[in-house]
């Protein structure tokens, strides 16, 4: 019993200390007019800057959804807004993706239903049972989940983006769980062992071409433009979900999270749905008109559209 109390008190102390480590996410760049959806495009990446517009064209891709659901086994989490952005290099119809330095995916944090009690309680492990008893009606019960990139996206398929049922991109992600008891390193999935999503359109989207001037103002004959696809949800039900790791002091709570949530969860037991997804792909309407420095000129126009 004394050892159980000692471990429990150490975790409480670590939980209190971790409250001071919570920092707000940095604000995204704001771009003017029609540029706005492309505000995290990695236009200054060396591979993007090197595009000549003829053999290789540099493009920007964004795909956002205001809400969705993420199901792991029998647990369904309502997601907040998510935003995927990439640079895309088009070499004669072969596409290579370039991720922003801070990661391709960002998402709003959402509350886990039931908090820590729902995530790992009840438990037959004595010191976890002690935590469970302390959490009832406590603000320390709250747990938030945030989706994050776990590596560079691959396998971008433009044709799949305008159709249905075929994966548009391969997207490695992890889910960060935040709670004072869980600490600052609690994840489901890791960079080495991520959740690998392959979202596809669940219905055929509606497409339109957006044309605009370099400053972002609308212009039907503007030199800038992108294909915008909307009106359809995207989803995936083929992915597996690995174990949790780094949860609690020395990772001691990871096993409790796994046990309660049924992790690892095999492919076919999980699903993702992104509601009302909007995807935009473009930059210069005719990239070859800006050869041989198309990538550099795309960067210059992107930066000129930043709203101070």
**Residue 28 — pLDDT band, cuts 50, 70, 90?**
low
Task: Check residue 3 and give its pLDDT.
Answer: 41
Domain containing 248 equals: 2-22+46-304
Residue 29 falls within a domain, yes or no? no
Task: Check residue 238 and give its pLDDT.
Answer: 97
Helix (H, G, I), strand (E, B) or coil at 174: strand
Average pLDDT over residues 284-293: 97
Provide the whole-model pTM: 0.87
Is the omega angle on the peptide bond into residue 264 within 30 degrees of 0, that is, cis?
A: yes
Residue 31 falls within a domain, yes or no? no
Residue 112 falls within a domain, yes or no? yes
Separation of first and last alpha carbons in the chain: 59
Average pLDDT over residues 128-136: 81
Residue 80 falls within a domain, yes or no? yes
Backbone phi and psi for residue 290, each to the nearest 5 degrees, phi listed first: -115, 20
Average pLDDT over residues 26-38: 85
Average pLDDT over residues 123-136: 80
Average pLDDT over residues 272-280: 97
Residue 33 falls within a domain, yes or no? no
Residue 39 falls within a domain, yes or no? no
Task: Check residue 123 and give its pLDDT.
Answer: 79
Name the least confident of 60-64, 136-140, 179-183, 221-225.
Answer: 136-140
Quick check: 7 pLDDT over 90?
Answer: no
Average pLDDT over residues 183-210: 97
Total structural domains in the chain? 1
Residue 82 falls within a domain, yes or no? yes
Average pLDDT over residues 176-202: 96
| Nearest partner of 65 among 196, 232, 204, judged by Cα | 232
CB atoms within 10 A of CB 110: 18
CB atoms within 10 A of CB 280: 22
Quick check: 212 pLDDT over 80?
Answer: yes
Task: Check residue 16 and give its pLDDT.
Answer: 33
Average pLDDT over residues 275-282: 97
**Residue 70 — pLDDT band, cuts 50, 70, 90?**
very high
Residue 60 falls within a domain, yes or no? yes
């Amino acid at each position: 019993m004394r050892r159980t109390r000692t471990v429990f008190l150490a975790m409480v102390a670590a939980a209190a200390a971790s409250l001071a480590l919570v920092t707000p996410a940095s604000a995204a760049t704001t771009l003017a007019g029609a540029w706005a959806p492309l505000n995290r495009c990695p236009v200054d990446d060396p591979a993007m800057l090197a595009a000549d517009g003829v053999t290789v064209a540099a493009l920007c891709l964004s795909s956002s959804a205001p809400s969705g659901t993420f199901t792991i086994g029998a647990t369904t989490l309502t997601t907040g807004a998510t935003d995927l952005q990439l640079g895309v290099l088009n070499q004669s119809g072969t596409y290579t993706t370039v991720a922003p330095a801070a990661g391709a995916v960002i998402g709003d944090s959402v509350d886990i239903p039931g908090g820590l009690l729902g995530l790992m309680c009840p438990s037959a492990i004595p010191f976890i049972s002690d935590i469970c008893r302390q959490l009832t009606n406590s603000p320390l019960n709250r747990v938030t989940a945030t989706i994050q990139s776990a590596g560079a996206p691959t396998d971008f398929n433009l044709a799949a983006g305008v159709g249905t049922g075929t994966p548009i991109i391969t997207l490695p992600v992890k889910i960060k769980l935040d709670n004072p008891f869980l600490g600052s390193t609690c994840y489901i999935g890791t960079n080495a062992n991520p959740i690998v999503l392959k979202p596809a359109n669940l219905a055929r989207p509606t497409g339109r071409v957006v044309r605009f001037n370099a400053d972002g103002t609308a212009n039907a004959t503007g030199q800038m433009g992108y294909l915008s696809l909307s009106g359809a949800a995207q989803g995936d039900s083929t992915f597996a979900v690995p174990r949790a790791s780094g949860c609690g002091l020395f990772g001691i709570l990871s096993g409790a999270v796994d046990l309660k949530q049924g992790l690892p969860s095999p492919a076919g037991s999980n699903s993702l749905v992104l509601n009302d997804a909007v995807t935009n792909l473009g930059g210069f309407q005719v990239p070859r008109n800006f050869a041989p420095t198309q990538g550099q000129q795309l960067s210059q126009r992107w930066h000129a559209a930043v709203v101070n």
